[in-house]
Amino acid sequence: MILVTGGAGYIGSHTVVELLNEGKDVIVIDNFSNSKKQTLDSIKKITNKDFKFYEIDYLDREKLEKVFKENQIDSVINFAGFKAVGESVIKPLDYYINNISGALTLLDVMKKYNVKKFVFSSSATVYGEPEKIPITEDCKIGGTTNPYGTTKLYIEQILKDLYKSDNTWDIVILRYFNPVGSHESGLIGEEPNGIPNNLMPYIVRVASRQLKELSIFGNDYDTKDGTGVRDYIHVVDLAKGHIKALQKLEKDQGLFIYNLGTGNGYSVLDMVKTFEKVTGKKVPYKIAPRREGDIATCYSDPTKAKKELNWEATKTLEDMCKDAWNYIEKNGKK
The answer to whether 148 is a known catalytic residue is: yes
Contacts (CB under 6 A) with ligand UFG, residues 17-56: none
| Among the listed residues 31, 98, 125, 274, the single contact to ligand UFG using CB under 6 A | 125
* Nearer residue to ligand UFG within complex by CB, 17 or 216: 216
* Nearer residue to ligand UFG within complex by CB, 8 or 199: 199
* Nearer residue to ligand UFG within complex by CB, 46 or 173: 173
**302 touches 312 (CB < 8 A):** yes
The reply on whether position 197 binds ligand UFG by CB under 6 A is: yes
Out of 10, 58, 95, 148, which one is annotated catalytic?
148
Per-position x/- string for 283-312, each x denoting binding to ligand UFG as judged by CB under 6 A, each - no binding = --------x--x---x--------------
- Nearest-angstrom CA–CA distance, 268 and 251: 40
Minimum gap (Å) between residue 53 Cβ and ligand UFG: 26
The reply on whether position 98 binds ligand UFG by CB under 6 A is: no
**Is the peptide bond prior to 302 cis by the omega test (within 30 degrees of 0)?**
no
* Nearer residue to ligand UFG within complex by CB, 52 or 290: 290
Contacts (CB under 6 A) with ligand UFG, residues 198-227: 198-199, 202, 214-217
- Nearest-angstrom CA–CA distance, 324 and 192: 13
The reply on whether position 83 binds ligand UFG by CB under 6 A is: yes
Q: Which stretch binds ligand UFG (CB under 6 A): 87-95, 120-128, 243-251, 272-280?
A: 120-128
The reply on whether position 99 binds ligand UFG by CB under 6 A is: no
Neighbours of 58 (CB within 10 A): 24
Nearest to 274 by CA among 319, 209, 220: 319
Q: Which stretch binds ligand UFG (CB under 6 A): 44-52, 86-94, 122-130, 160-168?
A: 122-130
Residues identified as active-site: 148
Binding site for ligand UFG (CB under 6 A): 83, 85, 123-125, 149, 178, 197-199, 202, 214-217, 228, 230, 268, 291, 294, 298
